[in-house]
Amino acid sequence: MPIKIYLSPPHLGSNEERYVLQAFETNWIAPLGPNVNLFEDKIGDFYNNKLHCAVLSSGTAAIHLALKLLGVTHGDDVLCQSFTFAASANPITYLGANPIFIDSEEETWNISPELLEDAIEDGIKKGKKAKAIVAVDLYGMPFKVEEITAISQKYNIPLIEDSAEALGSHFKNTKCGSFGEIGILSFNGNKIITTSGGGALLAKDKNLVQKAIHLATQARDQAPHYQHSEIGHNYRMSNVLAGIGAGQMEVLEKRVHARRRNFEFYKDALKSISSISFVDEPEGYFSNRWLTCLLTDSFETREKIRTNLLNKGIESRPLWKPMHMQPVFSKNQKYVNGVSEDLFNRGLCLPSGSSLEEEQLVNIVNLIKKTI
């Protein structure tokens, strides 16, 4: 059965094509250009101009540059949320540093403040203080902002907020992406808004963002010839793709609204089924509900729902497999409490696209009810 309903497909508004066409009409197919500036200005406006922004080729590139800007280098330890997509952790290894994985707490499913502090203390006792913390707003839910930023400040270890899934989310009315020294966004095809592929690096410190742009454009010195005093990357977003991003920023609020509507629909329609549950927003938390995740009573129930949906051409997916359970990171240090492993076993991401129609939601819910 071919897939008819995808987990999180792109959803374009009406102006994306116009901005891309402008790039064609002005022959601005070169990497930099007016759409890059326009997209960055729109992101800046979204953050009330309290953050500076560099749009890049991917969220992964943004994390790589963030770590580099914070001085992470060969042999360093970086404390990273375990329950996440591999792109939160992979760039740590690009720099020859070691990710140490930290399990989650149950309220937001993000990095556990207690385990994070244990890991920091252990490192200090061994004479090796971690160089950075990577905390994630998973599925759009902000992490324990107050606790985690307090720990970051107490130990003077900089925080990177991986907000790849959380554009449009906020905590106590402050937007996700702004809680660390550096925040990152992703505009991959499955995210809440997309440029087909892309990302952004955000920081209050303008110098950090300027340095990021320098590193993202091959670290070219000011000179008429090509001269380089350090190693750079080719990580800048192209002017064509930035046109899509500029259009997508104009519909972001609508996309958040639609994703939250999906969540409320699923939750309400399945509330009478005792073997299914959803996680609510704690007080002060606002999630963009990028993906609606349900929890079942067992691995078997989860798999029954997933395969029955698939047989009808409906894509769903288990929650992220924690990094400390991944073969590639099997030798890495970890601080675990069983929370993310349990979520991985019992959780399922449901179709969550902002273009889902009510009839499709009804079909999905009926199939789940029939399964149980």
Ligand X SMILES: *Cc1c(COP(=O)(O)O)cnc(C)c1O
* Smallest separation (angstroms) from ligand X to the CB of 298: 26
Q: How far apart are CA 343 and CA 321, in angstroms?
A: 9
* Smallest separation (angstroms) from ligand X to the CB of 56: 9
Q: Strand 159-162 vs strand 182-186: parallel, antiparallel, or unpaired?
A: parallel
Q: How far apart are CA 56 and CA 65, in angstroms?
A: 10
Among 8, 22, 35, 60, binds ligand X (CB under 6 A): 60
User: 64-75 b/e with 16+ CB inside 10 Å = b?
Assistant: bbbbbbbebeee
| Residue ranges in 162-181 that form contacts with ligand X under rule CB under 6 A | 162, 164-165
Q: CA triplet 200, 203, 206: central angle to 5 degrees?
A: 110
| Residue ranges in 300-319 that form contacts with ligand X under rule CB under 6 A | none
Show the site string, 8-47: x = touches ligand X by CB under 6 A, - = not.
Answer: ----------------------------------------
Nearer to ligand X, 103 or 165 (CB): 165
Q: How far apart are CA 200 and CA 65, in angstroms?
A: 10
The piece of 53-61, 201-209, 332-340, 348-356 that touches ligand X (CB under 6 A) is 53-61
β-sheet bridge partners, residue 317: 349
Nearer to ligand X, 58 or 352 (CB): 58
Should residue 136 be labelled a site residue for ligand X when binding is judged by CB under 6 A? yes
Cα of first residue to Cα of last residue in the chain, in angstroms, is 22
Q: How far apart are CA 334 and CA 80, in angstroms?
A: 9
- Token pair, residue 219, equals 């670290």
| Residue ranges in 77-106 that form contacts with ligand X under rule CB under 6 A | 84-85, 87-88
* Smallest separation (angstroms) from ligand X to the CB of 87: 4
Nearer to ligand X, 89 or 100 (CB): 89
* Number of residues near ligand X (by CB under 6 A): 14
Q: How far apart are CA 95 and CA 144, in angstroms?
A: 27
- Nearest partner of 69 among 164, 181, 222, judged by Cα: 181
Tell me how crowded residue 362 is: count the other CB atoms within 10 A of its CB: 12
The piece of 52-60, 70-78, 330-338, 350-358 that touches ligand X (CB under 6 A) is 52-60
Among 8, 104, 152, 186, binds ligand X (CB under 6 A): 186
Nearer to ligand X, 3 or 86 (CB): 86
Among 8, 22, 35, 58, binds ligand X (CB under 6 A): 58
Nearer to ligand X, 136 or 294 (CB): 136
Nearer to ligand X, 159 or 368 (CB): 159
Strands (E), the chain: 52-56, 77-81, 98-102, 132-136, 159-162, 170-171, 174-175, 182-186, 199-203, 276-277, 285-286, 292-296, 317-318, 334-335, 347-350
- Token pair, residue 29, equals 């197919």
* Smallest separation (angstroms) from ligand X to the CB of 90: 9
Should residue 182 be labelled a site residue for ligand X when binding is judged by CB under 6 A? no
Should residue 199 be labelled a site residue for ligand X when binding is judged by CB under 6 A? yes
Residue 29's φ and ψ, nearest 5 degrees, are -90, -10
Strands (E), 226-300: 276-277, 285-286, 292-296
Nearer to ligand X, 82 or 186 (CB): 186
Nearer to ligand X, 22 or 57 (CB): 57
Number of alpha carbons in the 13 Å side-chain half-sphere of residue 203: 23
Contact positions toward ligand X, by CB under 6 A?
A: 58-60, 84-85, 87-88, 136, 162, 164-165, 186, 188, 199
